[in-house]
Structure 1
């Protein structure tokens, strides 16, 4: 979904971190602090050059290193200081963390199926999606309040957290948040402020369509 970002008020650019080894292995990362691969850092450098063209006014990032190191690449290009906030971390998923999708289905089949059907599930004994939104969205809105008119903030976070934050900001029912497709590594989505609230202007921008290796798929 692409659209012009001109003619609107303030903008929020949700930028997913670059590739990690656990992304490649299909392991659920959650709040585990996994670093970028060399390829992930290159992805961040490339995307940072593109995002700098939006002339962002602020950068806010998850404090997990895969997001913080991604944000640092945009900081290097723009000169903006990065504000780190643990409220933007990925979903804590307890015993699911570190497992592959196949292992989760084998060990937690009933819980996995309920989650895929949109039911509120504490995956691995961790957080509900609504709880993730409860902690992430205030961080985003606090950053928005500091923006000038027509200003832009880049929020560097994680696939699941971004999905939930966008769903909450768009006013979607939590059972429908899954309708928002996942973000590829180092791709972004743009929300614009309109007369009737937030609008999704771009989604999963920065790459041609490809299978998404996410933290929440």
Structure 2
């Protein structure tokens, strides 16, 4: 998706950028708040994405303090000369006993819990956080930094797939049950929220290239 709100000078923007690849991503192993580093491929993804995102002329960068997000953010900081503010509230969902397990192991050991989560029920996966609790801690941090922007400023938030999805859902005013309708983010892809007349709008989702304006009636 794209919209003219992605053009500079049409209100504040929030770019929510997922970290690059890790070894646990490749193994389909649940990371959660476990502090896993980027692979060499993940670092290359971050460098490539940073060269694209610099064209959006970001004004501020805030990131999760976990290594995979911090290293991703550092690549954008290097090409923008901006400093990065790290905040643990932007960490990935803590998922207790699920963390470190592969997808197949989770299905085998916690199959009903996984199915309940997919049905949209409030589930403490592995005894960890509810998705609404993740949004409760992450969304206010994003809004705090967005409020510091100038009228047409751009904030880049470097975080994790689950945290980004719940934060987008909260900022769009969606019910928690509907957050699953937002597809996941690929490694080092991003989503863009723009300021509209009725609040934040989703302008780009799971993008890996620079946004293009919409030329039509629904801009």
Q: TM-score by structure 1 length?
A: 0.94
**Runs of 5+ unmatched residues, structure 2:** 210-219
Provide the residue aligned with 1:3 in structure 2: 3
Structure 2 residue 47 is the aligned partner of structure 1 residue 45: yes
How big is the shift at 1:9? 1.1
How big is the shift at 1:8? 3.0
Provide the residue aligned with 1:213 in structure 2: none
Map residues 43-122 of structure 1 onto 2, 5 A cutoff: 43-122=45-124
* Corresponding residue SS for 2:34: coil
Map residues 151-162 of structure 1 onto 2, 5 A cutoff: 151-162=153-164
State how far apart, in whole Å, the 1-side matches of 2:134 and 2:74 are.
24
* Corresponding residue SS for 1:108: helix
State how far apart, in whole Å, the 2-side matches of 1:114 and 1:10 are.
37
Provide the residue aligned with 1:212 in structure 2: none
How big is the shift at 1:54? 0.3
**Runs of 5+ unmatched residues, structure 1:** 208-217
Root-mean-square deviation over aligned CA pairs: 0.8
Find the partner of 2:143 among 141, 144, 152. 141
How big is the shift at 1:145? 1.0
C-alpha distance after superposition, 1:136-167 (max 9, x if no partner)? 00110110111011100000000000000000
C-alpha distance after superposition, 1:108-163 (max 9, x if no partner)? 01100000001000000000000000000011011011101110000000000000
C-alpha distance after superposition, 1:161-216 (max 9, x if no partner)? 00000000000000010000000000000000111000000000006xxxxxxxxx
- Find runs of 4+ consecutive structure 1 residues off by over 4 angstroms: none
* Corresponding residue SS for 2:11: coil
Structure 2 residue 17 is the aligned partner of structure 1 residue 15: yes
State how far apart, in whole Å, the 2-side matches of 1:3 and 1:41 are.
29
Q: When the two structures are aligned, how many residues end up with a matched partner?
A: 207
State how far apart, in whole Å, the 1-side matches of 2:76 and 2:112 are.
41
Provide the residue aligned with 1:172 in structure 2: 174
How big is the shift at 1:2? 2.5
Provide the residue aligned with 1:211 in structure 2: none
Q: TM-score by structure 2 length?
A: 0.93
* Corresponding residue SS for 2:47: helix
How big is the shift at 1:3? 2.5
